[in-house]
Chain A
Amino acid sequence: MARKIRVLVAKPGLDGHDRGARVIARGLRDAGMEVVYTGLHQTPEQVVEAAIQEDVDVVGLSILSGAHMTLFPKICELLRENDSEDIKVIGGGTMPEEDVKELVEKGWAAQIFTPGATLEQIAKWIYDNV
Protein backbone atom coordinates (compact mmCIF):
# COMPACT_ATOMS: atom_id res chain seq x y z
CA MET A 1 0.00 0.00 0.00
CA ALA A 2 1.25 3.48 -0.84
CA ARG A 3 2.38 5.67 2.01
CA LYS A 4 -0.49 7.83 3.21
CA ILE A 5 0.33 11.49 3.81
CA ARG A 6 -0.51 12.59 7.35
CA VAL A 7 -1.02 16.24 8.25
CA LEU A 8 -1.59 17.91 11.61
CA VAL A 9 -3.79 20.99 11.36
CA ALA A 10 -3.30 23.04 14.49
CA LYS A 11 -4.47 26.35 15.88
CA PRO A 12 -1.79 27.62 18.23
CA GLY A 13 -2.26 30.71 20.33
CA LEU A 14 -5.27 32.58 21.54
CA ASP A 15 -7.47 33.46 18.61
CA GLY A 16 -10.73 31.54 18.73
CA HIS A 17 -11.58 31.40 15.08
CA ASP A 18 -11.13 27.98 13.50
CA ARG A 19 -13.39 28.09 10.47
CA GLY A 20 -10.39 28.43 8.18
CA ALA A 21 -8.58 25.55 9.85
CA ARG A 22 -11.63 23.32 9.53
CA VAL A 23 -12.06 24.20 5.86
CA ILE A 24 -8.40 23.31 5.25
CA ALA A 25 -8.73 20.07 7.24
CA ARG A 26 -11.77 19.07 5.22
CA GLY A 27 -10.07 20.04 1.94
CA LEU A 28 -6.95 17.99 2.63
CA ARG A 29 -9.17 15.06 3.66
CA ASP A 30 -10.88 15.32 0.27
CA ALA A 31 -7.43 15.39 -1.35
CA GLY A 32 -6.81 11.93 0.14
CA MET A 33 -4.74 12.81 3.19
CA GLU A 34 -5.16 11.79 6.82
CA VAL A 35 -5.70 14.97 8.75
CA VAL A 36 -5.37 15.17 12.52
CA TYR A 37 -7.21 18.16 13.91
CA THR A 38 -6.56 19.11 17.52
CA GLY A 39 -8.87 22.05 18.12
CA LEU A 40 -8.35 25.57 19.44
CA HIS A 41 -5.82 27.19 21.79
CA GLN A 42 -2.87 24.86 21.38
CA THR A 43 0.48 25.68 22.92
CA PRO A 44 3.58 25.15 20.74
CA GLU A 45 4.50 22.24 23.05
CA GLN A 46 1.14 20.56 22.45
CA VAL A 47 1.44 21.02 18.69
CA VAL A 48 4.89 19.45 18.57
CA GLU A 49 3.99 16.55 20.85
CA ALA A 50 0.91 15.74 18.73
CA ALA A 51 3.01 15.95 15.56
CA ILE A 52 5.49 13.43 16.97
CA GLN A 53 2.94 10.93 18.31
CA GLU A 54 0.89 11.10 15.13
CA ASP A 55 4.02 10.80 12.95
CA VAL A 56 2.82 13.46 10.54
CA ASP A 57 4.68 14.64 7.45
CA VAL A 58 3.40 18.19 7.67
CA VAL A 59 2.19 20.55 10.40
CA GLY A 60 -0.19 23.24 9.16
CA LEU A 61 -0.60 26.19 11.51
CA SER A 62 -3.56 28.50 11.27
CA ILE A 63 -2.78 31.83 12.92
CA LEU A 64 -4.98 34.90 12.84
CA SER A 65 -3.88 36.53 16.07
CA GLY A 66 -0.78 38.35 14.86
CA ALA A 67 1.50 36.15 16.96
CA HIS A 68 2.99 34.34 13.95
CA MET A 69 6.49 35.81 14.38
CA THR A 70 6.63 34.21 17.83
CA LEU A 71 4.77 30.94 17.23
CA PHE A 72 6.48 29.73 14.04
CA PRO A 73 10.06 30.04 15.40
CA LYS A 74 9.04 28.48 18.71
CA ILE A 75 7.46 25.43 17.03
CA CYS A 76 10.47 24.99 14.71
CA GLU A 77 12.80 25.16 17.72
CA LEU A 78 10.78 22.52 19.61
CA LEU A 79 10.74 20.22 16.57
CA ARG A 80 14.52 20.52 16.37
CA GLU A 81 14.90 19.78 20.09
CA ASN A 82 12.89 16.59 19.52
CA ASP A 83 14.90 15.44 16.48
CA SER A 84 11.86 16.02 14.31
CA GLU A 85 12.97 18.86 12.06
CA ASP A 86 12.11 16.66 9.07
CA ILE A 87 8.44 17.49 9.70
CA LYS A 88 7.55 20.38 7.40
CA VAL A 89 5.82 23.39 8.91
CA ILE A 90 3.44 25.38 6.73
CA GLY A 91 1.00 28.06 7.72
CA GLY A 92 -2.00 30.12 6.80
CA GLY A 93 -3.76 33.20 8.05
CA THR A 94 -3.62 36.94 7.83
CA MET A 95 0.01 38.02 7.93
CA PRO A 96 1.81 41.03 6.45
CA GLU A 97 3.80 40.31 3.31
CA GLU A 98 7.14 41.25 4.87
CA ASP A 99 6.52 38.81 7.75
CA VAL A 100 5.69 36.01 5.32
CA LYS A 101 8.93 36.71 3.50
CA GLU A 102 10.93 36.66 6.71
CA LEU A 103 9.33 33.44 7.99
CA VAL A 104 10.20 31.60 4.80
CA GLU A 105 13.67 33.15 4.44
CA LYS A 106 14.69 32.25 7.95
CA GLY A 107 13.35 28.71 7.54
CA TRP A 108 10.66 29.07 10.18
CA ALA A 109 8.03 28.04 7.67
CA ALA A 110 8.39 25.98 4.51
CA GLN A 111 5.48 27.80 2.91
CA ILE A 112 2.80 30.32 3.92
CA PHE A 113 -0.62 30.51 2.31
CA THR A 114 -2.43 33.81 2.77
CA PRO A 115 -6.10 34.58 2.01
CA GLY A 116 -6.89 33.78 -1.60
CA ALA A 117 -4.85 30.58 -1.73
CA THR A 118 -6.94 27.68 -3.01
CA LEU A 119 -7.27 24.23 -1.46
CA GLU A 120 -5.84 22.79 -4.68
CA GLN A 121 -2.69 24.90 -4.31
CA ILE A 122 -2.21 23.78 -0.73
CA ALA A 123 -2.80 20.09 -1.48
CA LYS A 124 -0.51 20.27 -4.50
CA TRP A 125 2.25 21.89 -2.45
CA ILE A 126 2.01 19.08 0.10
CA TYR A 127 2.04 16.33 -2.54
CA ASP A 128 5.04 17.98 -4.25
CA ASN A 129 7.04 18.49 -1.07
CA VAL A 130 6.51 15.35 1.02
Chain B
Amino acid sequence: MIDIDKLLAGDRRMAARAISMIEDEDEDRQKLLSELFPHTGNVLTIGITGSPGAGKSSLTDALTRQARQQDLKVGIIAVDPTSPISGGALLGDRIRMQEHALDRGVFIRSMGTRGCLGGLARATKDAVKVLDAFGCNIIFIETVGVGQSELDIMHYADTTLVVLTPGAGDHVQTIKAGIMEIANIFVINKADLGNTGKMITDIEQMLDMSSHHNGWRPPIIKTVTTEEKGLPELWNMILTHKEYNETSGAQKENERKRVQQEVQELLEEKIQNQLKLKLSSNGNMWKLVESIVERNMDPYAAANKLLKEFLSI
Protein backbone atom coordinates (compact mmCIF):
# COMPACT_ATOMS: atom_id res chain seq x y z
CA MET B 1 0.00 0.00 0.00
CA ILE B 2 1.01 3.57 -0.56
CA ASP B 3 1.50 5.80 2.46
CA ILE B 4 0.43 9.17 1.01
CA ASP B 5 1.99 11.22 3.81
CA LYS B 6 5.33 9.53 3.31
CA LEU B 7 5.11 10.10 -0.44
CA LEU B 8 4.34 13.79 0.04
CA ALA B 9 7.27 14.02 2.45
CA GLY B 10 9.58 12.75 -0.29
CA ASP B 11 9.85 8.99 0.39
CA ARG B 12 11.44 7.52 -2.75
CA ARG B 13 10.15 4.00 -2.25
CA MET B 14 6.55 5.24 -1.99
CA ALA B 15 6.86 7.37 -5.12
CA ALA B 16 8.33 4.42 -6.99
CA ARG B 17 5.54 2.09 -5.86
CA ALA B 18 2.87 4.63 -6.74
CA ILE B 19 4.22 4.83 -10.29
CA SER B 20 4.18 1.02 -10.55
CA MET B 21 0.54 0.96 -9.41
CA ILE B 22 -0.33 3.34 -12.20
CA GLU B 23 1.69 1.41 -14.78
CA ASP B 24 0.09 -1.88 -13.77
CA GLU B 25 -3.37 -0.26 -13.89
CA ASP B 26 -4.03 -1.34 -10.31
CA GLU B 27 -7.67 -0.79 -9.41
CA ASP B 28 -6.75 1.50 -6.50
CA ARG B 29 -4.82 3.88 -8.72
CA GLN B 30 -7.67 6.35 -9.24
CA LYS B 31 -8.15 6.70 -5.51
CA LEU B 32 -4.43 7.31 -5.11
CA LEU B 33 -4.42 9.94 -7.87
CA SER B 34 -7.46 11.68 -6.38
CA GLU B 35 -5.62 11.98 -3.09
CA LEU B 36 -2.46 13.26 -4.75
CA PHE B 37 -4.19 15.74 -7.05
CA PRO B 38 -4.54 18.59 -4.51
CA HIS B 39 -0.76 18.48 -4.07
CA THR B 40 0.03 18.87 -7.75
CA GLY B 41 0.30 21.82 -10.10
CA ASN B 42 3.68 23.14 -8.99
CA VAL B 43 5.99 21.58 -11.50
CA LEU B 44 7.58 22.62 -14.77
CA THR B 45 7.50 19.81 -17.34
CA ILE B 46 10.05 19.69 -20.13
CA GLY B 47 9.53 17.24 -22.99
CA ILE B 48 12.58 15.95 -24.83
CA THR B 49 11.87 14.22 -28.10
CA GLY B 50 13.77 13.28 -31.24
CA SER B 51 14.92 10.33 -33.28
CA PRO B 52 16.76 7.34 -31.75
CA GLY B 53 20.36 8.22 -30.98
CA ALA B 54 19.88 11.99 -31.28
CA GLY B 55 21.21 12.38 -27.73
CA LYS B 56 18.01 12.76 -25.72
CA SER B 57 19.31 10.92 -22.64
CA SER B 58 22.64 12.75 -22.64
CA LEU B 59 20.81 16.05 -23.05
CA THR B 60 18.46 15.15 -20.19
CA ASP B 61 21.50 14.37 -18.08
CA ALA B 62 23.15 17.70 -18.98
CA LEU B 63 19.96 19.70 -18.32
CA THR B 64 19.58 17.93 -14.98
CA ARG B 65 23.02 19.26 -14.07
CA GLN B 66 21.85 22.81 -14.94
CA ALA B 67 18.70 22.41 -12.85
CA ARG B 68 20.65 21.04 -9.89
CA GLN B 69 22.91 24.09 -9.97
CA GLN B 70 19.76 26.11 -9.25
CA ASP B 71 18.97 23.66 -6.44
CA LEU B 72 15.79 22.47 -8.15
CA LYS B 73 14.50 18.98 -7.32
CA VAL B 74 14.46 17.03 -10.57
CA GLY B 75 12.28 14.17 -11.78
CA ILE B 76 13.10 12.26 -14.94
CA ILE B 77 10.69 9.96 -16.75
CA ALA B 78 12.50 8.14 -19.53
CA VAL B 79 10.37 6.11 -21.91
CA ASP B 80 11.67 3.25 -24.05
CA PRO B 81 9.69 0.98 -26.37
CA THR B 82 7.95 -2.20 -25.23
CA SER B 83 8.29 -5.19 -27.52
CA PRO B 84 5.03 -5.90 -29.36
CA ILE B 85 6.14 -9.54 -29.55
CA SER B 86 7.08 -10.43 -25.96
CA GLY B 87 5.65 -7.50 -23.99
CA GLY B 88 9.10 -7.03 -22.46
CA ALA B 89 11.30 -3.97 -22.70
CA LEU B 90 14.93 -3.02 -22.34
CA LEU B 91 15.08 0.28 -20.51
CA GLY B 92 18.52 1.74 -21.00
CA ASP B 93 18.21 5.49 -20.55
CA ARG B 94 19.74 5.44 -17.06
CA ILE B 95 23.13 4.52 -18.52
CA ARG B 96 23.64 8.16 -19.57
CA MET B 97 22.39 9.52 -16.26
CA GLN B 98 24.66 7.76 -13.78
CA GLU B 99 26.18 10.98 -12.51
CA HIS B 100 22.89 11.72 -10.74
CA ALA B 101 22.26 8.20 -9.46
CA LEU B 102 23.14 9.06 -5.88
CA ASP B 103 21.85 12.63 -5.83
CA ARG B 104 18.81 12.64 -3.54
CA GLY B 105 17.55 15.68 -5.48
CA VAL B 106 17.07 13.59 -8.62
CA PHE B 107 14.52 10.81 -9.13
CA ILE B 108 14.83 8.79 -12.33
CA ARG B 109 12.16 6.39 -13.56
CA SER B 110 12.37 4.30 -16.71
CA MET B 111 9.15 3.28 -18.37
CA GLY B 112 8.14 0.93 -21.19
CA THR B 113 5.49 2.14 -23.65
CA ARG B 114 3.35 -0.99 -23.02
CA GLY B 115 1.49 -0.75 -26.30
CA CYS B 116 1.02 3.01 -26.42
CA LEU B 117 2.01 4.42 -29.81
CA GLY B 118 2.38 8.15 -29.23
CA GLY B 119 5.98 8.12 -27.98
CA LEU B 120 5.01 7.95 -24.29
CA ALA B 121 3.41 5.35 -22.02
CA ARG B 122 -0.21 5.51 -20.90
CA ALA B 123 1.11 5.95 -17.36
CA THR B 124 3.41 8.88 -18.13
CA LYS B 125 1.04 11.75 -17.40
CA ASP B 126 -0.05 10.27 -14.07
CA ALA B 127 3.57 9.50 -13.15
CA VAL B 128 4.18 13.24 -13.65
CA LYS B 129 1.51 13.91 -11.02
CA VAL B 130 3.17 11.49 -8.60
CA LEU B 131 6.55 13.21 -9.00
CA ASP B 132 4.88 16.62 -8.74
CA ALA B 133 3.30 15.67 -5.40
CA PHE B 134 6.58 14.02 -4.37
CA GLY B 135 8.10 17.50 -4.50
CA CYS B 136 9.89 17.78 -7.83
CA ASN B 137 10.23 21.33 -9.18
CA ILE B 138 11.03 20.27 -12.71
CA ILE B 139 10.35 17.04 -14.61
CA PHE B 140 12.10 16.00 -17.79
CA ILE B 141 10.03 13.62 -19.89
CA GLU B 142 12.16 11.80 -22.42
CA THR B 143 10.11 10.14 -25.16
CA VAL B 144 11.04 6.99 -27.03
CA GLY B 145 13.17 7.62 -30.10
CA VAL B 146 10.49 8.95 -32.43
CA GLY B 147 9.91 8.96 -36.15
CA GLN B 148 7.72 11.71 -37.50
CA SER B 149 4.37 11.35 -35.85
CA GLU B 150 4.69 10.29 -32.22
CA LEU B 151 3.52 13.57 -30.82
CA ASP B 152 1.81 12.90 -27.47
CA ILE B 153 4.52 14.86 -25.68
CA MET B 154 3.14 18.17 -26.98
CA HIS B 155 0.05 17.68 -24.80
CA TYR B 156 1.93 16.92 -21.59
CA ALA B 157 4.96 19.20 -21.57
CA ASP B 158 5.06 22.92 -20.82
CA THR B 159 8.06 23.16 -23.11
CA THR B 160 8.87 20.67 -25.85
CA LEU B 161 12.43 20.32 -27.09
CA VAL B 162 12.83 18.64 -30.47
CA VAL B 163 16.36 17.24 -30.67
CA LEU B 164 17.88 16.99 -34.14
CA THR B 165 21.34 16.07 -35.38
CA PRO B 166 23.23 17.48 -38.39
CA GLY B 167 22.75 15.65 -41.66
CA ALA B 168 19.33 14.27 -40.79
CA GLY B 169 17.56 14.75 -44.09
CA ASP B 170 17.10 17.42 -46.74
CA HIS B 171 14.93 20.52 -46.63
CA VAL B 172 11.78 18.61 -47.54
CA GLN B 173 11.95 16.90 -44.15
CA THR B 174 11.57 20.26 -42.44
CA ILE B 175 8.33 21.12 -44.22
CA LYS B 176 6.60 17.83 -43.49
CA ALA B 177 3.83 17.85 -40.93
CA GLY B 178 4.41 16.27 -37.55
CA ILE B 179 7.41 16.44 -35.30
CA MET B 180 8.80 19.67 -36.77
CA GLU B 181 5.59 21.49 -35.80
CA ILE B 182 5.57 20.70 -32.10
CA ALA B 183 8.88 22.21 -31.00
CA ASN B 184 8.97 25.14 -28.62
CA ILE B 185 12.75 24.98 -28.87
CA PHE B 186 14.82 23.22 -31.51
CA VAL B 187 18.05 21.67 -30.30
CA ILE B 188 20.72 20.69 -32.81
CA ASN B 189 22.77 18.25 -30.78
CA LYS B 190 26.13 16.79 -31.84
CA ALA B 191 26.58 20.16 -33.54
CA ASP B 192 30.29 19.42 -33.97
CA LEU B 193 29.52 16.60 -36.39
CA GLY B 194 28.37 18.36 -39.51
CA ASN B 195 26.98 21.27 -41.38
CA THR B 196 24.62 22.92 -38.93
CA GLY B 197 24.40 26.10 -41.02
CA LYS B 198 22.27 24.47 -43.69
CA MET B 199 20.09 22.79 -41.13
CA ILE B 200 19.46 26.07 -39.33
CA THR B 201 18.57 27.74 -42.65
CA ASP B 202 16.11 24.96 -43.47
CA ILE B 203 14.42 25.24 -40.07
CA GLU B 204 14.31 29.05 -40.23
CA GLN B 205 12.70 28.90 -43.69
CA MET B 206 10.15 26.43 -42.38
CA LEU B 207 9.40 28.79 -39.49
CA ASP B 208 9.14 31.79 -41.87
CA MET B 209 6.27 30.05 -43.62
CA SER B 210 4.49 29.10 -40.44
CA SER B 211 1.81 31.53 -39.33
CA HIS B 212 0.78 30.14 -35.95
CA HIS B 213 3.59 31.13 -33.62
CA ASN B 214 1.33 33.13 -31.27
CA GLY B 215 4.18 35.35 -30.22
CA TRP B 216 6.76 32.59 -29.71
CA ARG B 217 8.94 31.70 -32.66
CA PRO B 218 10.83 28.52 -31.73
CA PRO B 219 14.51 29.34 -31.36
CA ILE B 220 17.29 26.99 -32.47
CA ILE B 221 20.07 26.14 -30.02
CA LYS B 222 23.22 24.24 -30.91
CA THR B 223 24.63 21.84 -28.32
CA VAL B 224 27.46 19.34 -27.95
CA THR B 225 26.58 17.46 -24.76
CA THR B 226 29.85 15.54 -24.63
CA GLU B 227 31.75 18.83 -24.47
CA GLU B 228 29.20 20.70 -22.34
CA LYS B 229 28.65 23.20 -25.15
CA GLY B 230 25.48 25.24 -25.52
CA LEU B 231 23.88 23.96 -22.33
CA PRO B 232 23.65 27.19 -20.31
CA GLU B 233 22.14 28.79 -23.44
CA LEU B 234 19.58 25.99 -23.72
CA TRP B 235 18.75 26.19 -20.02
CA ASN B 236 18.25 29.96 -20.25
CA MET B 237 16.00 29.51 -23.29
CA ILE B 238 13.88 27.02 -21.32
CA LEU B 239 13.47 29.66 -18.61
CA THR B 240 12.64 32.31 -21.21
CA HIS B 241 9.94 30.07 -22.64
CA LYS B 242 8.58 29.45 -19.14
CA GLU B 243 8.32 33.21 -18.65
CA TYR B 244 6.61 33.59 -22.03
CA ASN B 245 4.13 30.86 -21.12
CA GLU B 246 3.30 32.61 -17.86
CA THR B 247 3.02 36.18 -19.13
CA SER B 248 1.20 35.39 -22.39
CA GLY B 249 -1.43 33.24 -20.70
CA ALA B 250 -0.30 30.23 -22.75
CA GLN B 251 0.38 28.31 -19.54
CA LYS B 252 -3.22 28.50 -18.34
CA GLU B 253 -4.55 27.92 -21.82
CA ASN B 254 -2.42 24.79 -22.27
CA GLU B 255 -3.43 23.51 -18.88
CA ARG B 256 -7.10 23.92 -19.71
CA LYS B 257 -6.64 22.00 -22.96
CA ARG B 258 -4.67 19.30 -21.15
CA VAL B 259 -7.27 18.88 -18.42
CA GLN B 260 -10.13 18.85 -20.90
CA GLN B 261 -8.43 16.15 -22.91
CA GLU B 262 -7.71 14.16 -19.79
CA VAL B 263 -11.29 14.23 -18.54
CA GLN B 264 -12.50 13.30 -22.00
CA GLU B 265 -10.08 10.36 -22.18
CA LEU B 266 -11.13 9.14 -18.75
CA LEU B 267 -14.77 9.40 -19.71
CA GLU B 268 -14.22 7.56 -22.99
CA GLU B 269 -12.36 4.82 -21.14
CA LYS B 270 -15.22 4.42 -18.68
CA ILE B 271 -17.86 4.35 -21.42
CA GLN B 272 -15.80 1.89 -23.39
CA ASN B 273 -15.51 -0.44 -20.40
CA GLN B 274 -19.26 -0.25 -19.77
CA LEU B 275 -19.93 -0.86 -23.43
CA LYS B 276 -17.65 -3.91 -23.54
CA LEU B 277 -19.34 -5.29 -20.44
CA LYS B 278 -22.78 -4.79 -21.94
CA LEU B 279 -21.85 -6.25 -25.32
CA SER B 280 -20.29 -9.32 -23.77
CA SER B 281 -23.25 -9.92 -21.46
CA ASN B 282 -26.09 -9.91 -24.00
CA GLY B 283 -26.15 -12.10 -27.05
CA ASN B 284 -27.37 -9.38 -29.43
CA MET B 285 -23.95 -8.74 -30.85
CA TRP B 286 -23.62 -12.28 -32.21
CA LYS B 287 -27.07 -12.24 -33.75
CA LEU B 288 -26.22 -8.98 -35.48
CA VAL B 289 -22.89 -10.35 -36.68
CA GLU B 290 -24.75 -13.29 -38.20
CA SER B 291 -27.20 -11.06 -40.04
CA ILE B 292 -24.34 -8.90 -41.35
CA VAL B 293 -22.46 -11.95 -42.60
CA GLU B 294 -25.69 -13.10 -44.29
CA ARG B 295 -25.97 -9.63 -45.83
CA ASN B 296 -29.34 -9.03 -44.15
CA MET B 297 -27.98 -5.99 -42.39
CA ASP B 298 -25.05 -3.60 -42.80
CA PRO B 299 -22.43 -2.83 -40.11
CA TYR B 300 -23.50 0.82 -39.84
CA ALA B 301 -27.12 -0.01 -39.07
CA ALA B 302 -25.97 -2.64 -36.57
CA ALA B 303 -23.77 -0.14 -34.74
CA ASN B 304 -26.64 2.38 -34.63
CA LYS B 305 -28.98 -0.23 -33.23
CA LEU B 306 -26.50 -1.20 -30.50
CA LEU B 307 -25.85 2.43 -29.63
CA LYS B 308 -29.56 3.08 -29.19
CA GLU B 309 -29.87 0.07 -26.90
CA PHE B 310 -26.79 1.14 -24.92
CA LEU B 311 -28.01 4.70 -24.42
CA SER B 312 -31.41 3.56 -23.22
CA ILE B 313 -30.13 1.52 -20.28
Contact = CB atoms under 8 A, between A and B. Distances in A.
Contacts of A65: none
A46 B88 contact: no
Given A3-B24, A52-B16, A54-B110, A34 B88 contact: yes
Contacts of A36: 91-92, 94, 110
Contacts, number: 90
Given A52-B12, A54-B110, A29 B86 contact: yes
A31 interface: yes
Nearest to B115: A1
Contacts of B107: 53
A25 B13 contact: no
Interface in B63-116: 82-83, 85-92, 94-95, 98, 101-102, 107-110, 112, 114
Contacts of A32: 86-88
A55 interface: yes
B23 interface: yes
A46 B107 CA distance: 12
B88 A53 contact: no
A37 interface: yes
Nearest to A6: B20
A42 B91 CA distance: 16
B104 to A, nearest CB: 9
Contacts of B95: 37-39
Interface residues of B, number: 30
B17 interface: yes
Contact of A4 (B16, B24, B110): B24
Nearest to A9: B90
Contact of A28 (B17, B24, B88): B88
Contacts of A49: 101-102
A74 interface: no
B112 A34 contact: yes
A99 B45 CA distance: 48
B19 interface: yes
Nearest to A54: B110
B91 A37 contact: yes
A102 interface: no
Contacts of A3: 24
B94 A29 contact: no
Contacts of A37: 90-92, 94-95
Interface string A37-72: 111001101100110111100000000000000000
Nearest to B16: A55
26 contacts: A3-B24, A4-B87, A6-B20, A26-B90, A29-B86, A29-B88, A29-B89, A30-B88, A31-B86, A32-B86, A33-B88, A34-B112, A36-B110, A37-B94, A39-B92, A39-B94, A39-B95, A46-B101, A46-B102, A49-B102, A50-B94, A52-B12, A52-B13, A54-B108, A54-B110, A55-B20
Interface of A: 1-4, 6, 25-26, 28-39, 42-43, 45-46, 49-50, 52-55, 82-84
